[in-house]
Amino acid sequence: MSKTARVLLWTALGAGFAVIYFPLLVVLLNSVNSDTTFGWPPKSFTLEWWGRAVTNEGALRALWTSVEAGLAATAIALVLGTMAAFALQRYRFFGRNSVSLLIVLPIALPGIVTGIALNNAFRTILGIDLGLLTAIIAHSTFCIVVVFNNVVARLRRMGGNLEEASMDLGADGVTTFRLVTFPMLRSALLAGGLLAFALSFDEIIVTTFTLGTGLETLPIWIYDNLFRPNQAPVVNVVAAVLIVVSTVPVYFAQRLSGGDSSSGGRI
Amino acid sequence: MTAVSPPSRRASAFFFRKPRLRLAILLSAPLLWLGLAYLGALAALFITAFWSTDVFTGQVVTSWSFDNFVTLFSDSVYRTITLRTVGIAALVTVVDAVIAFPMAFAMAKLASPRAQRILVIAVMTPLWASYLVKAYAWRTLLSGNGAINWLLDPFGLSGPGYGVAATVITLSYLWLPYMILPIYAGLERLPDSLVDASSDLGAKSFRTFRSVILPLTFPAIVAGSIFTFSLSLGDYIAVKIVGGTSQMLGNVVYDNIGAANNLPFAATVATVPVVIMLVYLAVVRRTGALDNL
């Protein structure tokens, strides 16, 4: 390849990363920008908004709702995703491709379709009032795929030899799982769990349609306050917190999974 | 060998002899959850699309009719919104492909293996930063006294403000990693020897790109386009945040659930992105893109 082409490609890569990270940096900077209209560039800095945000009741309540929904959805997704991963990775059966499509579907279809389908099912078909529980059910549905992807990748890599050896040596199924399978899966489960939690924590479209009135997750709280000018400083802090809260665990999940989860987000 | 084996051992042996039973147990819970709850909800949604709402009580009337679909196709407002939505989604896909390809190429073919790993993490990490925060970031960037105008001002230019252009920019930004990752994976699989052979045979960089690299990575690009296109089709939040007054299909769905309380019509509108996606998937099936997902 010519030198010019190389230079151009490296430049494109650098410019691309600059564009990817610059907006996030602006949000982080604005959270300490003392100017309430957030004109650019910031002239002076303050921690006042952070002080106000950590005592903002609405934001704190929303944070708690997000954590509750995230933990519950992650727990359900860990169980269902792992079961599905074992079934699809270890067995060949009729309809296997359809099952794997079904697992990806909640995330492959536009969020609004998933959201309104569940909203309609809860309200019109089942006659259940929306609440935290309905949001947890919805979140679990699209978090399964994240756990599934991580566990499948790990199962594929570790094969079945060690488990067979354990059985040959006389361990029963439970013992083999406890002493052989689970330790090898542990970091994949942790990575999948972190990613599922992050996905649930960030989700807004499906949440909007499945969370009961009066309840707010953090993204919904931001959305509700986005168009209120006097809330702008606090929104900036919460947005900055969200960037840190969601990207740091994901960074660790990536390292934990050791390149297992080659695809991210909704994929 | 003990005469009586402990119960756990017997249970283990029992399940070991019955792989079908083990499979059934493993599949039962996920299938009940996804098959009944999720597929059931989807099926119910498409049935609801044929129902209507009582004008006076606001209750859903469960009688079959094509009225919603007739409204959807005959009203010029919905036609405009559908065309705008598809146009935005297509444009976002093209913009992302053009930006992502050189980035993915540099990552896959120029970076060292160690750097590759770091670069992939660097692409994926912001992918998870809140969707809403990223859309909000563009709202501040594009505002009157925001960073974009500040950057363009010395050149006597100004940013696009809020509108369709801002929507395309924001959505392209949001979905860019979904395009970079599949193209990167596709390029990684492309043997260097083919590129070398092309230049040995006298082809210049551009000719190699057009005749060798592009045809072989096309399925990967299409795989990426499935996500950028589908996610843009269903969006309604970005357009609310940076789109000014313009609307997309998602907004129509949202408004019919919230303000208008017309769930059946919302369901009808929601079938449009699904049908468009199914057609799109059927068209790109031939390229082999689905195997690249």
**CATH number of the structural domain spanning residue B71:** 1.10.3720.10
Whether B108 contacts chain A with CB within 8 A: no
In a domain, B40, yes or no: no
pLDDT level of residue A79 (50, 70, 90 thresholds) = very high
Chain B's closest residue to A198, CA to CA, is: B128
A 91-130 residues inside an 8 A Cβ radius of B: 91, 93, 99, 102-103, 105-106, 108-114, 116-121, 123-125
Residue B13 falls inside a structural domain: no
Range of the domain at B143: 60-292
A252 and chain B: CB distance < 8 Å anywhere?
Answer: no
CB A142 within 8 A of CB A206: yes
Low pLDDT (below 70) residues in chain B: 1-5, 8, 55, 57-58, 288-293
Instruction: Determine which helix (DSSP H) or strand (DSSP E) holds B52, and give its type and residue range.
Output: strand B52-53
B7 is a domain residue: no
Phi and psi of A174, rounded to 5°?
-65, -45
Q: Which of A24, A144, A222 is opposite residue B30, by nearest beta carbon? A: A144
A79, A90, A116, A206: best to mutate for the B interface, most B CBs within 10 A = A116
* Whole-number pLDDT of residue B84: 94
Please check whether residue B10 lies inside any domain of the structure: no
Of B100, B110, B143, the CB nearest to A10: B110
Residue B289's pLDDT is: 62
d(CA A154, CA A144): 16
Identify the band that residue A61 occupies on the pLDDT scale cut at 50, 70 and 90: very high
**CB-CB neighbors (< 8 A) of A6 in chain B:** 110
- Asked whether B221 and B292 are in contact (CB, 8 A), the reply is no
The H-or-E segment that residue A104 falls in is helix A96-108
In this complex, is the C-beta atom of A28 within 8 Å of any C-beta atom belonging to chain B? no
Looking at this predicted complex, what is its ipTM?
A: 0.80
Per-residue pLDDT tens digits for B63-87: 778 888 888 888 899 999 999 999 9
Which residues are registered as beta bridge partners of B61?
A: B52
Among residues A206, A208, A209, the alpha carbon closest in space to that of A221 is found at A208
- The answer to whether B181 contacts chain A (CB < 8 Å) is yes
Shortest Cα–Cα distance, A69 to chain B (Å): 16
Closest CA to A239 of A61, A28, A57, A18: A28
Mean pLDDT is lowest, of A43-47, A149-153, B238-242, for A43-47
Beta strand residue intervals within B41-171, DSSP E: 52-53, 60-61
What integer pLDDT is reported at residue B91 of this predicted model? 97
What is d(CA A77, CA A192) in angstroms, rounded to the nearest whole number?
9
Give domain status of residue B11, yes or no. no
Total tally of structural domains belonging to chain B: 1
Give the pLDDT of residue B293. Answer: 56
Given an 8 Å threshold on Cβ–Cβ distance, is B106 in contact with A172?
no
Two structure tokens written together for A153: 């990748």
Closest chain A CA to residue B251: A112
Q: What is the pLDDT of residue B288?
A: 65
In a domain, B44, yes or no: no
- From chain B residues 244-273, the ones with a CB under 8 A of any chain A CB are 250, 253-254, 257, 263, 266-267, 270, 273
Q: Which residue has the higher pLDDT, A2 or B68?
A: B68
Question: Is there a domain that residue B216 lies in?
Answer: yes
Higher pLDDT, A44 or B219: B219
Model confidence at A267, pLDDT cuts 50, 70, 90, reads very low
Q: Which of A206, A237, A235, A207 is nearest to A222 (CA)?
A: A235
Q: Residue A113 and residue B34: Cβ atoms within 8 Å?
A: no
Q: Is B145 close to A40, i.e. CB distance below 8 A?
A: yes
- Please, which residues 178-217 of chain A have a Cβ atom closer than 8 Å to chain B? 195, 198-199, 201-202, 204-205, 208-209
Is this prediction's pTM over 0.80?
A: yes
CB-based contacts of B267, cutoff 8 Å, min separation 6: A116, A120, B45, B46, B48, B49, B51, B68
Q: Does a structural domain hold residue B239?
A: yes
User: For chain A, what is the mean pLDDT?
Assistant: 85
